[in-house]
Amino acid sequence: MNQDKPNRVDQSTESSQNLYRRPERPKRSEVKPIQVLESVSNDAGEVFNSGDKILVTPPWGGKAIADLANFYQDDSGNAWARYTSNESRPGWTWEGGCMLAALLVKAD
């Protein structure tokens, strides 16, 4: 290899070939589809379904009630819940969020 130009291929024969190597593209891991779950349970064993009401911490602090939208499982086997907000405050924009299913708490 030529030290002046590290990507240059040594010339063994004189020809009009391209003398520079194209760098290899990085290999990407295959993206697996999300595994959707019908229901989940928290650490206390309570079962949650879509539409159930839960307690969450909103951006302004304190506690708020939210509706469970759906559930999915990540590559590590952890169940996650996505929720939408039922409450809002002036000056705050909050559409919902997600959390580990193990941490879910039912609203009374």
DSSP string, 61-107: SS-EEEEEEEEEE-TTS-EEEEEEES---TT----EEEEEGGG--B-
Residue 4 lies in a domain: no
Domain count, the chain: 1
> 68 lies in which domain range?
35-103
pLDDT of residue 12: 55
Residue 95: inside a domain = yes
CATH number at residue 53: 2.30.30
The per-residue pLDDT for 88 is 85
Q: Which amino acid is at 65?
A: I
Distance CA 64, CA 85 (A): 8
Residue 64 has pLDDT above 80, yes or no: yes
Q: Is residue 7 part of a domain?
A: no
Q: Are 22 and 16 in contact (CB under 8 A)?
A: no
pTM: 0.69
pLDDT at 42: 96
Asked if residue 82 has pLDDT above 70, the reply is yes
